[in-house]
């Protein structure tokens, strides 16, 4: 799962989760940002692609490193 969170004043403002597939806002301003980002198909497709770009390419490396150091 890929999760990207944005914080403002130490409070989580917005979060994108690949399992949900959209942005979720947690503050008044965050809800507005999330609504705007969820309307833009290019932003959503870019964030959904981040799971393959980041997670799937690095999971085996991280797993192997954890096994060799334990």
Residue-wise pLDDT for 12-67, tens only, equals 999 999 999 999 999 999 999 999 999 999 999 999 888 888 777 777 776 677 77
Bigger pLDDT: 70 or 58?
Answer: 58
Question: How many structural domains are present in the chain?
Answer: 1
The CATH number assigned to the domain holding 18 equals 3.10.320.10
* Contacting residues for 18 by C-beta, under 8 A, at least 6 apart: 1, 2, 3, 47, 48, 50, 51, 55
Structure tokens at 58: 């690095």
What is the span of the domain harbouring residue 18?
3-68
Judge whether 52 and 38 are in contact, CB under 8 Å.
no
* Contacting residues for 23 by C-beta, under 8 A, at least 6 apart: 14, 15, 16, 33, 34, 37, 38, 47
């Amino acid at each position: 799962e890929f999760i990207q969170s944005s914080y403002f004043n130490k409070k989580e403002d917005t979060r994108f989760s690949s399992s949900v597939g959209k942005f979720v806002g947690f503050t008044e301003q965050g809800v507005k940002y999330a609504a705007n980002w969820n309307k833009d198909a290019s932003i959503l497709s870019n964030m959904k692609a981040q799971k393959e770009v980041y997670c799937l390419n690095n999971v085996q490396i991280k797993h192997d490193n954890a096994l060799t150091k334990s």
